[in-house]
A and B are shown apart, each in its own frame.
Chain A
Amino acid sequence: MKDTSKVNPLESEAIYIMREVAAQFEKPVLLFSGGKDSITLVRLAQKAFYPAKIPFPLMHIDTGHNFPETIEFRDRLVKELGLELIVRNVQDSIDEGKVKEESGRYSSRNVLQTTTLLDAIEEFKFDACIGGARRDEEKARAKERIFSVRDDFGQWDEKNQRPELFDMLNGQIELGQNVRVFPISNWTELDVWSYIQKEQIEIPSIYFAHTRATFLRDGLIWSADDDVVYRDKDEEVIERIVRFRTVGDMSCTAAVLSTAADIKSVVQEIRESSISERGARIDDKRSEAAMEKRKQQGYF
């Protein structure tokens, strides 16, 4: 590369945002889920501070219902890159009686993460939490700022957001408040996949086609893991060739039928796809305003 004229403007924007976080806040943290978006964030953070190390730790809020492949991947990545990782468990919040496990057909620990996350923010006094949310994912997220201020209770006041002008980011907050930061706000799903391809970033194997024991419900394909995902007796388990487009909690992330076994075919598939990424997320289908409600309560 002779000059930087061909550098992706979205990549430069994300690097700029990472640097603003490091400069404007005392205790930032990168929220890491083991999914492709947060893995992309780690790469962008590396680029932003090279040749120095990433000047903040990663934190994973572990629901205990993650795909095992994700956890293995997480631990390996952290070791290889020499990063600091903090893990806080939803199970501990349940054991301490702070949250109650959901039961029944659509039970999930996805919502419970919020309490564990807010407790961890308070424990470490984090003033900025970097996340991989994108505006194209969901319509409430389309209104999210790049620097999004949360109050003492972690809540999002969607009607009273700070205007964000030019590319100037106002990170001034009061004690007790924190800012959620979204460096890849303006990326689409395809942008993320194309970037993973171009940068040859390693991602967990469940993003690629594999054989899995699954069952069908409401037109979606679920992983048959009886310890984590509720299944009726009459919901039949069948082995299918599937992959995951988004990786969240096992109990709320459905698979898609796919034979895309490498990054090139995944990018091709996304390009041609007619169902949006969050279409496979049951947590958004609970109601039309599901995401907005969860965000107001402090969810990512």
Chain B
Amino acid sequence: MEVLKIATAGSVDDGKSTLIGRLLYDTKSLTTDKLEAIEKKSKQLGYDYLDFSLATDGLVAEREQGITIDVAHIYFSTANKSYIIADTPGHVEYTRNMVTGASTSQAAIVLIDARKGVIEQTNRHFFINNLLRIKTVIVAINKMDLVDFSKEKYDEIKADFEALMSKRDYKDQKITFVPVSALKGDNVVNKSKNTPWYTGETLLQYLEKIDNQDIYNTGTPRFPVQYVIRPKTEEFHDFRGYAGKIYGGELSLGDEVVVLPSQTRSKIKEILFHDQKVETASRRSSVVITLENDVNISRGDMIVKANDLPTIDKQFVATISWMDSQQLTLGSKYIIQHGVNKVLAKVDRIHHKINPDYSGIDENAKALNMNDIASVSFKLNKPVFYDSFKSHRTNGSFILIDNQSNNTVGAGFIQ
């Protein structure tokens, strides 16, 4: 079964949770007991409709305030696909969750309130999806019932959004528009009678048609060594296997490889998936590799094809999404976790910060605050083996860890 991960983004009260609840309800994914709980709670709150947001807002604080404050994962499936929705909050102060949700998704749904049209938040959502190079974006223009399913309104919003699109960096992104009412169910799963002027498909139909283009599919094979397996049993006395997940492309028996950072050359001798020997390790599978020669390899090293090396350097420039309440400042030190490899990093230069409304850049920024997105140079204590995020989504990304708090404080995309 194909698995498709979708990030949802919208502002407060755009009806994002309602839309997800509607998807669950109309695909018959809500079980009787969950539905009963929603009916009971809706009645208790005095609503004359079913409040589907109650199905997804899992935390007490969220139900009290009627908003979503953390990424929630929702699962549903149709006959031909399994879906995982990363429901990310639309609050200004929780932009970090949006980046988080989008970082593992192949598609995104951007919600717009038909009464409000394209607002600053929409700008932000679109920018983040574009920055993270999400291949497919569906723009759901919601609450169409509150604007009398007006075609003019829909066209106007669509035109405004298209104006944003002209500024995007990742041009290959596929963008589709759908007029919906999540509350009433129009064009979510079932085609609406209220929008005869709309000839496109429903939201779910679009999701069903998305080619499950894997996010780790892009780029050439990179095999970061996670763990060295040495059984030290009689049967496997000399066995030395390198466990890891393969990102991008594939590796096969006999392939000429180079081990980084030692730059030792060798050939792939065996590939194991559990106790089965295979000829080829395909993208995103967790395997164990053995090599022809005795090479000294430890966690954090990387096995790559001999004719296809990544950049090996002790510095890089990256786009940073800052996620901590403490500022990122010039000269401060962090741990960079690049895949399974960890190095110490120092902020060498803050080139520019992107204005919160994405109207331009600020070249005089001295520090980054939570939710800032900026271009930053780092110096590292050891070389890392990286690709640009554009050419390799996995090997071009990293997280920043604060040495004192141990928290994950930022995400980085290597330029």
Contact = CB atoms under 8 A, between A and B. Distances in A.
Contacts of B84: 186
Contacts of B231: 51-53
B281 to A, nearest CB: 5
B325 to A, nearest CB: 10
Contacts of A9: 3, 284
Interface in B311-369: 323, 335, 337, 339-340
Given A19-B226, A292-B58, A142 B399 contact: no
B236 interface: yes
Contacts of B41: 288
Nearest to B299: A23
A162 B408 contact: yes
Interface string A138-166: 11111100000000000000110111111
Interface string B55-67: 1111111010000
Contacts of B245: 12, 16, 167
A123 to B, nearest CB: 24
A13 B286 CA distance: 7
20 contacts: A1-B273, A3-B281, A5-B285, A15-B286, A46-B274, A48-B243, A50-B229, A50-B274, A50-B288, A51-B233, A51-B239, A139-B57, A140-B58, A142-B72, A142-B73, A172-B401, A275-B32, A276-B31, A279-B32, A288-B41
Given A50-B274, A172-B401, A12 B73 contact: no
Nearest to A194: B1
B31 A273 contact: yes
Interface residues of A, number: 60
A101 interface: no
A2 interface: yes
A190 B191 CA distance: 29
Interface in B279-305: 279-288, 299
**How big is the B interface, by class?**
35 or more
A170 interface: yes
Given A49-B229, A140-B59, A274 B284 contact: no
B103 A166 contact: yes
Contact of B339 (A1, A19, A168): A168
Given A163-B408, A275-B33, A276-B31, A47 B69 contact: no
Please give me the 6 A-B residue pairs with the lowest Cβ-Cβ distance, nearest first.
A139-B58, A3-B280, A4-B285, A5-B282, A279-B33, A15-B286
B166 interface: no
A273 to B, nearest CB: 7
Interface in B80-106: 82, 84, 96-97, 99-100, 103-104
The A contact surface, by secondary structure, is loop
A142 B288 CA distance: 31
B406 A170 contact: yes
B286 A168 contact: no
Interface string A1-35: 11111010111110110011011000000000000
A165 B408 contact: yes
B391 to A, nearest CB: 16
Contacts of B60: 289, 292
B306 interface: no
Interface in B228-266: 229-233, 235-236, 239, 241, 243-245, 250
B70 to A, nearest CB: 5
Q: Is the interface of B mostly helix, strand, loop or mixed?
A: mixed
A245 to B, nearest CB: 12
B78 interface: no
Most buried by B among A22, A46, A158: A158
A139 B33 contact: no
A134 to B, nearest CB: 9
Contacts of A138: 58
A4 B233 contact: no
B199 interface: no
B61 A159 contact: yes
A51 B235 contact: yes
B399 A170 contact: yes
A158 B411 CA distance: 21
Given A4-B273, A15-B286, A276-B34, A51 B104 contact: no
